[in-house]
Chain A
Amino acid sequence: MSQAQDTTHEQAGKLERRAARLDDPMFEKYRSPRPRRRLAVAMIALLAVEAIIVVLPGIGAIPIWAFLAAMAVLIIVFVVVLGMLKASTRGVEELPEEVLDERQAQIRGRVYSGAYRVVSVMAIVLAAFVLVTVAVGWAVPEFLAIGIAVVAYQLVIIAPTLVAALQHDA
């Protein structure tokens, strides 16, 4: 067997294992609409908390060590909630088509088109914000610009998972 075939087999094995992990019956209790909605709301709340925490050191409300500690805790909670959200949708938004069946691949397409709309709206809002700040001559404080950039970046990453969790048949 050639090295290229070895790599392909290895990648296929990794994908199968990832798909099996996301399909674990252990997460069955999260796979109905209500728990998925709750997880999605928790994820949005975490983003809001993150936005607040990012701004706090900039206005001198908390020392830098407290900021770093809060961010460390937040990242751990974020990873756990995101993992539960992905397991609740069996990872249809994350897995490639090779490990999905035709119905799941169809849902994946719908999820990505929904996520595209969410991210487009966010981009329009951000563009409008920048235009307004330029028009009124407001120098946006550095901490606020960083906060907006961090939260926007994370929203781009989690948008497909949030949309998948809010679809009734994912």
Chain B
Amino acid sequence: MSRRELADAVGVHYQTIGYLERREYSPSLVLALKIAETLDVPVDAVFALAPFDSMADQIYKEKR
């Protein structure tokens, strides 16, 4: 799914999705829930208070 498609689905400007990806903007709860619903994942899979581990770290930890 492209930024623009996600932005259109949740009703924000595509630039706002970029700000969320770069952690330069914290969304409202409503927007966070809409994004999670659109991506069909729980909200804590997309947003968390602490930064997520990188993909490499997650795979490495699983293997250990």
Q: Give the distance to chain B from A11, nearest Cβ to Cβ, in Å.
A: 19
The answer for the CA separation of A23 and B12 in the assembled complex, in Å, is 13
Check B19 against A104 for contact (C-beta < 8 Å).
Answer: no
Binary per-residue interface labels of chain A (16-50) against chain B in the complex, 1 for a CB within 8 Å, 0 otherwise: 00000001000000000000000000000000000
Q: Does B42 contact A (CB under 8 A)?
A: no
Size category, B interface: 10 to 19
A-B contact count (CB 8 A): 22
Residues of A in contact, count (CB < 8 Å): 8
Q: Least Cβ distance of A108 to chain B in Å?
A: 12
Beyond A102-B31, A103-B19, whether A169 also contacts B13 by CB under 8 A is no
Q: Is the interface of B mostly helix, strand, loop or mixed?
A: loop
Shortest distance from the beta carbon of B40 to any chain A beta carbon, whole Å: 22
Cβ A169 vs Cβ B24 within 8 A: yes
A23 to B14, CA, bound (A): 11
Residues 70 to 108 of chain A near chain B (Cβ within 8 Å): 90, 100-104
Distance in angstroms between the alpha carbons of A63 and B23 in the assembled complex? 58
Q: Tell me which of B16, B24, B28 contacts A104 (CB under 8 A).
A: B16
Tell me, rounded to whole Å, the shortest Cβ–Cβ distance linking B22 to chain A.
11
In the complex, A169 Cα to B16 Cα: how many Å? 10
List B residues at the A interface (Cβ < 8 Å): 11-13, 15-16, 19, 24-25, 27-28, 31
Residues of A within 8 A of B (CB): 23, 90, 100-104, 169
A-B pairs with beta carbons under 8 Å apart, 11 shown: A90-B15, A101-B11, A101-B16, A102-B16, A102-B28, A102-B31, A103-B16, A104-B13, A104-B16, A169-B19, A169-B24
